[in-house]
Amino acid sequence: MSDAFTPIAGRLIRWYARHGRKNLPWQRDPTPYRVWVSEIMLQQTQVSVVIGYYERFMTRFPDLAALADAPLDDVLGLWTGLGYYSRARNLHRAAAVVRDRHGGAMPRGLDALVALPGIGRSTAGAILALSHGDRHPILDGNVKRVLCRYHGVGGWPGEGRVERTLWTLAERHTPREQVAVYTQAIMDLGATLCVRLRPLCAMCPLEADCAARREGAQAKYPAPRPRRETPHRETAFLMLRDPGGALLLERRPPVGIWGGLWCFPECEPDADVEAVCRSRFGVRPATTTALAPIAHGFTHFKLDVYPILVEVDDDDGSTAAGPGEPRRHSSGAAVAGSDGSRRYSSGAAAAGPGEPRRHSSGAVVADSDGSRRYSSGAAAAGPGELRRSSPGAAATGSDGSRNRPLSAVADSGELRWYPPGAAASVGLAAPVKRLIEQLARDR
DNA sequence: AAAGCGGGGGT
DNA sequence: ACCCCAGCTTT
């Protein structure tokens, strides 16, 4: 940062008077309720998209009472397509709180607003600044970008230290008068001129003393989020083969990677294969052979598969887990080991009914060596999978158990022996198909 | 197809 | 205080 204090408010306000957007739906009659709804919607979607949603929302829920009294499904219905549905739930919940505890009027205090679900410091500040003109700074993405460039603030704004710097700067710049206009102005500048790519500096009222402009390094600010390496996970396929050449396959859960497809049973790469075969499948391996590992790329992570060919000669017909099998509970989460090994488990373990879809990255747990890795619970999840909403819960089973990748599947009887040739006719996970073909060739 | 986006919430 | 997350849009 260069300038400790630079009154840019006046320039922004004058610029906004000439070039700012003033006829957006939420700018007409900016009541706290209307500003609130707009701010929540704008957190996740661009202005052009929000407008339609906002107008439909306001038609159906013209005031806070209408929102608070509406069924949640109605709210979610009007939110469909906007994404981030938890924010619609928060909006609805908060409306009820305001109805029940604030007499139906949005509270006029930062702390009271922040106490409402879905409202943080910046959103609370925006509500008070835009609807009442109360002097509160905001720090949304647009403002962050403007401040990072103007002051040459390096580092990723998501980092605590950088964010604190930005809040301090935002606070200093917020004027004592015309707070509402100023707030609109700095957001508008970020949204229309000081955009992430190819900012229109020639038109910017702050160009003369913008640090990034002076450096000719607008693209450097704000610094991007540190790259997180693509999650990399490992699993072992237990390729049980009986003397007739039949292979034991497992149908995967309907959600998750390879959902509904048939796959070899999995276990941890460092598991005791013989013990696993005995306890889980009731068979004793005659031989176990590690085949060449397979690298499989997913959108969100890389998976190394270690296939283990297990020849069995005394299948007792019971492929379900034995009765005394420990470490089983129906909805448990997968757990990270404390030995530092990587794990991978089937998706069923981490899934819970009605829980939100997960995102691309998994939960991170600390390794004993201080590095970070993705826990096995997270490893189970891929696009569209269900998981526990709390990474912590997913990382520690309620009974303290470790992974039990197959227990749910075994319980549901989704294990089958496939005679040679039969497997080719069912839906197979891609690497499974390759392995089966490879086995057929090698015989 | 992959990355960006931004603020809230959980640990 | 730190880290994670959603889900659409953009490149």
Each as own residue / partner, the long-range contacts of residues A11-16 (CB below 8 Å, 24 or more positions apart, any chain) are: A11/A205, A11/A206, A12/A182, A12/A185, A12/A186, A12/A189, A12/A205, A12/A206, A13/A175, A13/A178, A13/A181, A13/A182, A13/A185, A14/A205, A15/A185, A15/A189, A15/A204, A15/A205, A16/A181, A16/A182, A16/A184, A16/A185, A16/A188, A16/A189
Distance A389 CA to C5 C1' (A): 9
Distance A421 CA to C5 C1' (A): 44
pLDDT higher than threshold 70 for residue A77? yes
Segment A91-103, tens digit of pLDDT: 999 999 999 999 9
Judge contact between A406 and A266, C-beta under 8 A. yes
Report the pLDDT value the prediction gives residue A228, as an integer from 0 to 100: 66
Footprint of strand C on the protein (CB under 7 A): A 44-46, 49, 81-86, 158, 160-161, 197, 356-364, 372, 378, 391
pLDDT (mean) for A142-152: 92
Determine the nucleotide nearest to A86 by Cα–C1' distance: C6
**What is the maximal distance between C-alpha atoms in chain A?**
85
Q: Which residue is nearest to nucleotide B9 (CA to C1')?
A: A118
Report the pLDDT value the prediction gives residue A376, as an integer from 0 to 100: 30
Distance A275 CA to B1 C1' (A): 41
Report the amino acid identity of residue A146.
V
Nucleotides of C under 7 A from a protein CB: 1-11
Nucleotides of B under 7 A from a protein CB: 1-11
Catalytic entry in A39, A250, A266, A385: A39
CA distance A133 to A386: 43
Distance A396 CA to B10 C1' (A): 15
Q: Which residue is nearest to nucleotide C4 (CA to C1')?
A: A363
Q: Which pLDDT band holds residue A254 (cuts at 50, 70, 90)?
A: low
Distance A160 CA to C2 C1' (A): 8
Determine the nucleotide nearest to A372 by Cα–C1' distance: C3
pLDDT higher than threshold 70 for residue A355? no
Catalytic annotation present for A266: no
Q: Which pLDDT band holds residue A441 (cuts at 50, 70, 90)?
A: confident
Determine the nucleotide nearest to A48 by Cα–C1' distance: C9
For A232-442, which CATH superfamily applies? Nucleoside Triphosphate Pyrophosphohydrolase (3.90.79.10)
Report the pLDDT value the prediction gives residue A425, as an integer from 0 to 100: 61
Q: Which residue is nearest to nucleotide B6 (CA to C1')?
A: A141
CA distance A98 to A299: 42
Distance A44 CA to B7 C1' (A): 9
Segment A178-212, tens digit of pLDDT: 999 999 999 999 999 999 888 999 999 999 999 99
Report the pLDDT value the prediction gives residue A298, as an integer from 0 to 100: 61
Report the pLDDT value the prediction gives residue A229, as an integer from 0 to 100: 64
Q: For Cα atoms A264, A256, A86, give the angle at the middle one, nearest 5 degrees.
A: 165
Determine the nucleotide nearest to A374 by Cα–C1' distance: C4
Report the pLDDT value the prediction gives residue A423, as an integer from 0 to 100: 61
Residue A224's Cβ-side half-sphere holds a number of Cα atoms within 13 Å equal to 6
pLDDT higher than threshold 70 for residue A405? no
A7-220 folds as Endonuclease III; domain 1 (1.10.340)
Determine the nucleotide nearest to A123 by Cα–C1' distance: B7
Distance A363 CA to C3 C1' (A): 9
Q: Which residue is nearest to nucleotide B10 (CA to C1')?
A: A390
Residue ranges per domain, chain A? 7-220, 232-442
Distance A123 CA to B7 C1' (A): 8
Footprint of strand B on the protein (CB under 7 A): A 43-44, 84, 90, 117-124, 139-145, 158, 196, 224-225, 297, 299, 389-393
pTM: 0.61
Q: Which residue is nearest to nucleotide B11 (CA to C1')?
A: A392
